[in-house]
Amino acid sequence: MQAPFPIVSTMAPTGRESRRGAAATPEAEIRARAFELGFDVCRFARADVAPEQGERLHAWLRDGAHGDMDWMRETAGRRAAPCALWPEAASLVMLGLNYGPDGDPLASLTKPDCATISVYARNRDYHDVIKGRLKQLAGFILSRAGAGDAKVFVDTAPVMEKPLAQAAGVGWQGKHTNLVSREFGSWLFLGAIFTTLRLEPDPPEHDHCGSCTKCLDACPTAAFPAPYQLDARRCISYLTIEHKGPIPLEFRAKIGNRIYGCDDCLAVCPWNKYASAGREAKLAARAEFGSPSLVQLARLDDSAFRALFAGSPIKRVGRDRFLRNVLIAIGNSARPELAAEAERLIADAAAIVRGAAVWALGRLAPTQAAELRPDRLATEPDAAVRQEWRQTA
């Protein structure tokens, strides 16, 4: 059995620079293996870092800014700190995987008859790609140490990856609350390994936003009440992915053709000038997700939806909520020829789809909607959909 990793002081640089000539310390060996597995950043932190994040989380929840993401409240106690989730943890290994786009991520916003999908969802589900590699890296760490234990986490667990990544020096949380890297800009998937082994921590990254407010100014729905604060209830990513009911009327027109997520605040960050396209083939964007036709998406039944988005994070929202989003985009298209898609879906089996279809029809063909209103109001069983019909008047 090999001896456990000693506690060794190392100040290895981040990212691509750390691939060159690092000393053979435990941390350097772990970094080297992480890069072999395809990660672009590997940094270390103590498990008791960022204790102030717990109070910030609880304050955010008290304000109700999490919307209907009840799981955030339910897991708040464990999410507040790594040692609350796993008391035995001593060190954190924070990993980043570059998923930078190879073109303008906002280009499809200018195509009203097409949809815009967030960059991270234009490819294979990153959870599937990253989690397997985290397990391989954790196995390597423990085999080299000959002792200890480790747990891997990627996004779905109650872990506050962004402040932990900042504490480890991966990047910093910008004014839009997302992680920013001096090397990779806005485009890093994050993963974490908690371990009982003691590894030498890296210095934290400092805030480099300065006086810039481009991310805040770019938000279509004014989801940032102040720098470094996000009201998820106003965020397009939340509204199109996490929100389960009808999208509030005040945000619909501002959503434009964004049908899954929103990259506006990420894409305008000046630090993206240092970013590069992701090199991971399994996360390469699928061509059909670049600017898909709204008409084709509106015609998806459940089986076609599942087939198209198999292996994609989009599949998790389900066909009904997805079509709700597509219909909002159709209503915003200013293309009267798309009214036929909305009219067809006012008879859909799902109330959330019918409601969005009514709104879209009212936007594109108000006279037609007015003609249909009396009969539909008389036969519509869902109160929310009836209200949508009344609002078309």
Overall average pLDDT of the 21-40 stretch: 88
Q: Please write the tens of the pLDDT for every residue from 253-266.
A: 999 999 999 999 99
What is the model's pTM?
0.91
The predicted pLDDT at position 13 comes to 45
Instruction: Report the percentage of the chain scoring pLDDT > 70.
Output: 94
Q: Who contacts 6 (Cβ-Cβ below 8 Å, separation ≥6)?
A: 26
Q: Based on the number of CB atoms within 10 Å of its own CB, is 337 exposed (0-12), middle (13-18) or buried (19 or more)? A: exposed
Average predicted confidence (pLDDT) for the chain: 91
- CB distance 44 to 93 below 8 Å: yes
- CB distance 275 to 186 below 8 Å: yes
pLDDT at 219 over 80: yes
pLDDT at 234 over 80: yes
Q: Please write the tens of the pLDDT for every residue from 305-352.
A: 999 999 999 999 999 999 999 999 999 999 999 999 999 999 999 999
The predicted pLDDT at position 8 comes to 32
Q: Please write the tens of the pLDDT for every residue from 267-310.
A: 999 999 999 988 887 787 788 899 999 999 999 999 999 999 99
CA distance 181 to 278: 14
CA distance 247 to 222: 16
CA distance 75 to 177: 20
Query: Which amino acid type is present at position 318?
Result: G
The predicted pLDDT at position 279 comes to 86
CA angle 20, 21, 24 (to 5 degrees): 125
Q: Give me the active site residues, please.
A: 155
The predicted pLDDT at position 53 comes to 81
CA distance 118 to 125: 12
pLDDT at 101 over 90: yes
pLDDT at 17 over 70: no
Q: Please write the tens of the pLDDT for every residue from 128-181.
A: 889 999 999 999 999 999 999 999 999 878 899 999 999 999 999 999 999 999
Structure confidence at residue 76 as a pLDDT band (50, 70, 90)? confident
The predicted pLDDT at position 21 comes to 44
Of 76-85, 108-117, 331-340, 372-381, the least confident:
76-85
